[in-house]
Amino acid sequence: MSKKTLSQNLWLRRKDSDVFFEKAKISGFRARSAYKLLEIENKFKILKNNKNIVDLGASPGSWSQVLVKKNLNLSKIKIFAIDIKDIDPIEGVKFIKKDISYILEGNNYFKKNSLDLVLSDMAPNSTGHRFTDQAKASNLAEKALIFAINYLSFNGKFVCKLLGGNNDRLIINRAKEYFKTIKLFKPTSSRKESKEIYLICLSFNNLQ
């Protein structure tokens, strides 16, 4: 088979990602990111048997939509969506408009040992400068980890987007001190050219 040109490769990649965009539109998801969480769920089975879930960086809301879909008995669970950007209401989801930096500890919303699952798909607005964006993303991931450590209950789970920043290795090593199982996972719905990868942390040990 002949080697593809750069523009052919770009076209194929775009076509690839459009499949998820189209699927999301048809299924009523607000963003194609929904498929990343669905793939994480298929592999790691993290979404069931949780009472209190936090979705960090939730706007426009497709991960929260997946959470609602997967937890049909909404009277038994609480889903909190947090973002600095607004989010159109989702039935069964409580939206908190806050910057993660201001709810890391000692806030009015959560108690210690109260959460079963913390998800973070937070990403900074792109500056167009790769290293700056990656450094900002690492900083958000570190905050998400601190939040998870502060509020997860025993055996809790944490999922966090990483974008290839210099500090990502430190974040992974820190997570290893608190969780029994640590995995890195790249969903097929994540753009191949992106450095995006998800840190999956299972079985939180809050006895540190």
Stretch that binds ligand SAM, among 9-17, 94-102, 164-172, 176-184 (CB under 6 A): 94-102
Asked if 161 is an active-site residue, the reply is yes
Measured from the CB atom, is 83 or 116 closer to ligand SAM?
83
Closer to ligand SAM at the Cβ: 52 or 189?
189
Please name the amino acid found at residue 99. Answer: D
* Cβ-contact 35, 20 below 8 angstroms: yes
Nearest residue to ligand SAM, by Cβ distance, number only: 57
Tell me if the bond preceding 89 is cis, omega within 30° of 0: no
Q: Closest approach of Cβ 2 to ligand SAM, in Å?
A: 36
Of 52 and 136, the one with the shorter C-beta distance to ligand SAM is 136
99 scored as a contact of ligand SAM (CB under 6 A): yes
Positions 100 through 129 that interact with ligand SAM (CB under 6 A)? 100-101, 121-124
Strand 93-97 vs strand 78-83: parallel, antiparallel, or unpaired?
parallel
Provide the b/e sequence for 118-137 (b: ≥16 CB within 10 Å).
bbbbbbbeeeeeeeebbebb
Cα distance between the two ends of the chain: 56
Q: How far is the CB of 143 from ligand SAM (least distance, A)?
A: 7
Q: Does 168 bind ligand SAM (CB under 6 A)?
A: no
Classify burial at 41, counting beta carbons within 10 Å of its beta carbon; exposed 0-12, middle 13-18, buried 19 or more: middle
Closest CA to 135 of 163, 114, 161: 163
173 vs 189: CA distance, rounded Å: 26
In the block, which residue shows the tokens 């890391």? 104
Stretch that binds ligand SAM, among 17-25, 97-105, 106-114, 184-192 (CB under 6 A): 97-105
Q: How many residues bind ligand SAM (CB under 6 A)?
A: 23
CB of residue 60 to ligand SAM, shortest distance in Å: 5
83 touches ligand SAM by CB under 6 A:
yes
Minimum CB distance to ligand SAM smaller for 8 or for 101 = 101
Decide if 81 contacts 55 (C-beta within 8 A): yes
**33 contributes a contact to ligand SAM by CB under 6 A:** yes
- Contact positions vs ligand SAM (CB under 6 A): 30-31, 33-34, 57-63, 82-85, 99-101, 121-124, 140
